Amino acid sequence: MSFLRKMFSGKVKTEDPRRFLIEAMLAAMEADGDVDDTEMSTLQGNLESHELFAGLTPEEIQRFIDIAADAIREAGGGRARIDAIAKGLPSRGQRLTAYAMACEVCVSDRALAESEIDYLDALMTAFGLDEAEAKEVFESARKHSGLLTLEEKTAKMRTMMPRFVDCMALMANADGEVHHEERMGIRAVLRNIPDMSVLTPDELEQTISAALDRTAGKDVTTELAGAAKVIDGAADRYWTVVYMMIVALADGKSDWREVAFLEAARKTFGLSDYQMDVAMDTARQFPAVELGGEVPS
């Protein structure tokens, strides 16, 4: 980092996810070619009220805005930054929040231009969001209750969290041996799920160890069926498979038992071959895990 950044950027880092949340909103603002006062108010309201921006000084928030605006300008527009925004927001919660905020900006003037529809569709695809879930988020934003819906989704996710952990542990145990890299993969995924951020490092390790012990030697079909009863939403099942794939990729090796386990997960969770391919692409882009290969650009 240059001396100028040290002097003027404070706690702001260019890879901070909050920068990409702002970038998603700025791109939504310029999607229809006309930035109006209601869109500015929506942006400002999210920056002032959302918990993700709590504790930042006005100067730090402005620095994030400047970084995001510069990236959009240099790329030639917000649409050109969508893939980068998706990579900068690796967790499902972050992506849902960014999509909700972008929706709020687009509908804030009570009109939705075709270019804004194109932007939101592209954002949904890049984020790997289920269409039904994206529609629900959009409808909530349109009715000015998007954040409340996300809070409800977060509450539901907390109830599913033990099953998420168990599914990743099952994946790590699939070949009969838990590798260090697989354990690191589980840890990295959990650290990127906001609901797990309340755990201390020791508590996180205890959670992982307990899940690995609990699932060792268990019947895969029975365990997956039990998980499917709790993880019943299409989007939740998709992301559970993404989490498992991150763990499968973590050690850079391929084992026929892991392939068989993922096929069993596909059948149990009702995913298509195409959805599995997209899930694998998403897993390969997860930045917090050494995946044993290059991340697609």
* Residue 6 pLDDT exceeds 60: no
Q: Give the Cβ contact number of residue 44 at 10 Å.
A: 11
Q: Give the mean pLDDT of 13-21.
A: 85
pTM check: above 0.85 = no
Of 115, 174, 165, 108, which Cα lies nearest the Cα of 142?
A: 108
Reported as a pLDDT band with limits 50, 70 and 90, residue 124 is very high
Taking the C-alpha atoms of residue 189 and residue 221, their distance in angstroms, rounded to an integer, is: 23
Instruction: Specify the length of the chain in residues.
Output: 297
Amino acid at 74: E
Confidence (pLDDT) at 77 = 93
Q: Please report the pLDDT score of residue 193 as a whole number.
A: 73
**Pairwise pLDDT comparison (6 vs 72), residue with the higher score:** 72
pLDDT at residue 125, as a whole number: 94
pLDDT at residue 4 above 50?
A: no
- Using DSSP's 3-state secondary structure scheme, residue 195 falls into helix
Token pair listed for 88: 């900068």
Instruction: Give one DSSP letter per residue of 116-156, joined into a string.
Output: HHHHHHHHHHHHT--HHHHHHHHHHHHTT-HHHHHHHHHHH
Name the band, by pLDDT with cuts 50, 70 and 90, for residue 7: very low
Domains of the chain: 3-144 (1.10.3680), 156-284 (1.10.3680)
Residue pLDDT, tens place only, 266-283: 999 999 999 999 889 889
Residue 57 has pLDDT above 50, yes or no: yes
> How far is the C-alpha of 208 from the C-alpha of 169, rounded, in Å?
8
Dist. CA 19–CA 226, nearest whole Å: 39
Hey, what are 262's tokens?
Answer: 């993922």
CA dist 235 and 165 (Å) reads 17
More confident residue, 144 or 212: 212
Q: Is the pLDDT of residue 147 over 80?
A: no
pLDDT band at residue 146, thresholds of 50, 70 and 90?
very low
Quick: pLDDT tens for 209-222: 999 999 999 999 99
Task: Indicate the pLDDT class of residue 12, thresholds 50, 70 and 90.
Answer: low
Asked whether 146 and 103 are in contact (CB, 8 A), the reply is yes
pLDDT for 144 beyond 90: no
> What is the model's pLDDT at position 119?
94
Please, which pLDDT band fits residue 151 given cuts at 50, 70 and 90?
Answer: low
Query: Who has greater pLDDT, 67 or 297?
Result: 67
- Token representation of residue 75: 């790329």
